[in-house]
Structures are given as C-alpha cells and as structure tokens.
A and B are shown apart, each in its own frame.
Chain A
Amino acid sequence: MKIIVAGQTRTADLGAAVRADAARRPVGPKPGTLPESISALRLRQMASEADYLAELLRLLRYRDNVDTLPFDIPRKTGLAGGAMARFRAVLWKLLRYQHDRISGRQNMINNLYSSALEFEHQQHQRELCELRDRLARLEARPPDRPEGPAP
C-alpha cells in the first residue's frame, strides 16, 4: 500500500489508519458476494470475444431471476428518519403482492431470453463447426486439374 497526499507520502499514518478502519468496520450481508466461479469479474479473464460470449451466456443463467426478498429500506438517524423508514416499510408491504406478480412474470421472460440466446449460440457453433469441417475437406481434396498454364 502507498498513499501520497499533496505530494507527501502518508502511508505510515493515513495508510495505517485506513487499513485499521477497513479491518474494524463490521461486515454485513451487503454488498452481495457470489462465488468466484460465477462472478462477473470472470469476464475479465477471457482470451477472445468467442470465449467472452460463451462465459457471458453461462453467467446469465445464474442471474435471470430477480429475488425481491432481501429488500433493504435505508434508515436515516433521528425520529424523522425512523418514521420515514417505518412508512416506507408499510408501503412496501402493501405493494409487495402486486410487485411479486410482475417480477415473477419478468423473471419468466428473462429465463426465456436466456434460453433463446443459448439456443442461438449453440446453433451458430454447430454451423461453424460444419463449415470448418467442409472447408478442411475441400482443402484436403486433390485439385481436379493440374495447376499451370493451359496447354
């Protein structure tokens, strides 16, 4: 770690304080974390656009459903903050049933889109393989007539 403030190296004091604060801060359920095997950051490690697309389709499968259960209502401090948070919680309870019906339908559509993309990708891959095989066979075939100027 190195921190420079206004041209002065402050790693020893500010850096140490920052590190201590980071270690001391209570860890909550958020921000969300996913296993490394399905993290979006895996897309940084792809070798080509083709690899990227294949990986993106795989990762999409883990994300095409919205989960509305862990819904956070931020709360400001003080009496007004508490009252506002309670008001929002009541509103959310009232709206939740309709909201879940809509999100359920949206999830279904997302799922169908993921499937359609996968099918399209598989079909393209299959067609590409067939074309490559065909090209390889054509290139391996002996020429129909000898090369060179016509007699």
Chain B
Amino acid sequence: MTRPRLDQLLAGYADGDAISRQAVILRDLFRGWGHPADIFADPAHVSPTLRADCRPLADYAGASGDVALHHYGLASHAAEVFAACAARKILAYHNITPPEFFRGYDDAVVRQLADAQAQVAALARRVEAVWAVSNYDAADLAARGVTGVRAFPLIFTPAAMDLAPDPVLMSRLPAPLKTLLSVGRLAPNKRIEDVIQAFALYHYRINPFSRLIIVGSDRSCPRYCTMLKMLIGDLDVPNVCFEGFASPAGLVAYYKLADVFVSASAHEGYGLPLVEAMYHGVPVIARHAGGTSEALGQAGVLYEDLGAAELAELIHRVLDDQPLRADILASQQRRLRELAERPLEQELRALLANFLPAP
C-alpha cells in the first residue's frame, strides 16, 4: 500500500527559527513512519546553509491523496500555494504578532501582519484540521471564529542542546561577571528595552560586576535595534553585548555562561528559549504574557506589572537568594521531566488519525 505524502509548506526556512526546527522534527518523524515527506519553502527566504535541505515552493504539487501541513505565522506566498493545492490540508498556527508592535518600525511588516490577521480565519475554514502551538494560540483563533482547533505545542528536542559549547565564545566571554541572558529575535514585541532598563538599574545600583548578553538576529527589525542601541547610550550602561544570531554550539555557550534568563516579551506564542534555558539549568524570569506560562508550566518565575527597578530587584533575588534559586531550579527540573515524558508520536498519530490509513 502506498503511503500518502506528508509535506510541509513554510514561508521561510532558517537556522535557529522555531518554526523551521518544528518542521524538521516533524519531517523526520513522518519519514520514520515510512511516508514520503519534504519541506517546501520560498527560496527567497531560505538560509543559504539550508537550501539543500528543502525544496522550492514552485515544485510543490500536492495530489488529492496527499497531506499538506502549512505552518502559518505571516501572510506569504506559501499560504497561497497551500490554499490552492489539491492535497488534504492541515493548518499549523504559530501565532500572528499584533501589527501594532511594528508600527513606526516597519510599514511593510505592519501590512503583512494585518493581512495575516485578516486572512487566517478564512484560510482556517478551508482546511480539514487546525493545530495551534499553544492553548493561548488556540484561544486566539477561537476569538477569530475558528472552531475545532487542537493544541500541539512546539516540540523541544534535548538532543539539539546536547552539544559542546562553542570554545571561541567561551574564551571570549570568560570574565567572572553575573550574566543576564536574553534569547530571541530582536523584535518590538520582545520588549528588550524593559530588560535593558532593568539591567541598567541592576548594574548601577546592585552589582557593577554584571553583564547582559542579548542573543538573536537583528535582521527582522533594524529600526527597533537602533532604538535599543540609542537607549543603551542614554542609560550610559556598559557590558550590554549584542551577540546577533547564534549557531547551535554558540547558543549552548551562552546558556552555559548565563546566571539568569530574562524575558520581557509582551507577546509570545509559546517561548521555546525558556525551555532551552531550563534545560541548561538557568533560572528563568519571564513576563506572564501569551504562551509563556504554557512553556514554563509550574516552573520558573512569571511576573506581571513590574517597573524596571522592581524587575532589577527580582533579578537580584533570583541570583543571590540561594533557597529561592534552588526552588526555581527544582521546579524547572520537574517541568523538564514532564516535557521529556510527552508522548509525542502518540499525540501526533492521534492528530493525524483522520489523514492516515490505520497502521
């Protein structure tokens, strides 16, 4: 019996991108089940290092017996190809950042996000199944009138994190400073300015032997990065390191160097870096927004409505109050065990039950 193809359609395919990582894990699983499976992406938005690992969107020709899974977070050409194809369709919703965050920074992205918001409900009605990467995202779709959404959280694969840390980075940042870490693309919804303001207060009022390492691509919103750099100048705060995009080994090095992970993101579909930080034994402090509470579960520290000075004090407590730190780290270990016990294949087979022939 011929097994149906299980292909995935992406707007872009890039190193370090959570959606791309999810697509690779799913593709490998599908292939492991004996299904032909490929990733199709717009070549204009594929990292040069990954070109051989995916196929151009133009090559996609889903037949009626095939299954097409489209990861949706932005209005794109991939969505058009997906909508037009003959294959049975599944929409995997990865959240749309509200366009207001990008207003003033990038007019084209504001339009793209607004288009995506306008299109997603219509697209969801034309598919056989809709998955969301968190319950928060599922609720977001329900608010847009989409029913029957099933949650399928982002997959965390410890194997990707079990690498030797980049030795160059480890030797470049050896100073014995308390290290605050932020990981994620530099975009306005991440509210990195809040972390910088808190760090400035921590550095000047609490511990001058400290640094803030900000890891993440600055290509998605250059005007936002310009604002951040101007803010650092205004605060006259040293030891803020913009490290840009990190390789997998580089990312491991940053987690090894970190004493605390801080996320002030005001809009997050799930927040995979929070899980990565937990995996490396770094206590996590995150704003309670969007899907962050689903990533953390009953672990780490969540906060709401803290001023910069209060956030600086909270960071200080997590760094220096040993019983509190031990509680947080123990809770994170429990959360990691929960994630490790996730019956991923079973979950996925249940979601795909109507699409695949019985084994």
Contact = CB atoms under 8 A, between A and B. Distances in A.
Interface of A: 1-7, 14, 17-19, 21-22, 25-28, 30-34, 39-41, 43-49, 51-52, 56, 59, 63, 70, 74, 76
A45 B104 contact: yes
Contact of B104 (A5, A28, A51, A74): A51
Question: Chain B interface mostly helix, strand, loop or mixed?
Answer: helix
Contacts, number: 129
B190 to A, nearest CB: 13
Given A1-B305, A2-B304, A31-B204, A76 B107 contact: no
Contacts of B105: 46, 49, 52
Contacts of B313: 18-19, 21-22, 25
Interface of B: 103-107, 188, 193, 197, 200-201, 203-206, 208-209, 223, 226-227, 230-231, 233-237, 288, 297-307, 309-310, 312-314, 316-317, 324, 327-328, 330-331
A7 B297 contact: yes
A5 to B, nearest CB: 5
B309 A74 contact: no
Contacts of A76: 209
A19 B313 CA distance: 8
A1 B227 contact: no
Given A2-B303, A25-B205, A30-B204, 20 more contacts: A1-B310, A2-B305, A5-B327, A7-B331, A17-B317, A18-B314, A21-B317, A22-B309, A25-B206, A26-B205, A31-B200, A31-B236, A32-B234, A33-B234, A40-B233, A43-B230, A45-B104, A46-B105, A52-B105, A59-B230
Contact of A4 (B103, B206, B288): B288
B310 A40 contact: no
A49 B324 CA distance: 45
A2 B288 contact: yes
Given A18-B314, A40-B234, A43-B227, A49 B305 contact: no
A57 to B, nearest CB: 12
A25 B351 CA distance: 53
A32 B312 CA distance: 16
A25 B306 CA distance: 16
Contacts of B312: 22
6 contacts: A1-B306, A2-B305, A5-B331, A21-B316, A31-B200, A63-B230
Nearest to A2: B304
B288 A19 contact: no
Contacts of A7: 297-299, 331
Contacts of A25: 205-206, 309, 313
Contacts of B298: 6-7
A22 B310 CA distance: 6
A121 B103 CA distance: 21
A27 B301 CA distance: 26
Given A31-B200, A41-B193, A46-B103, A3 B302 contact: yes
A5 B288 CA distance: 11
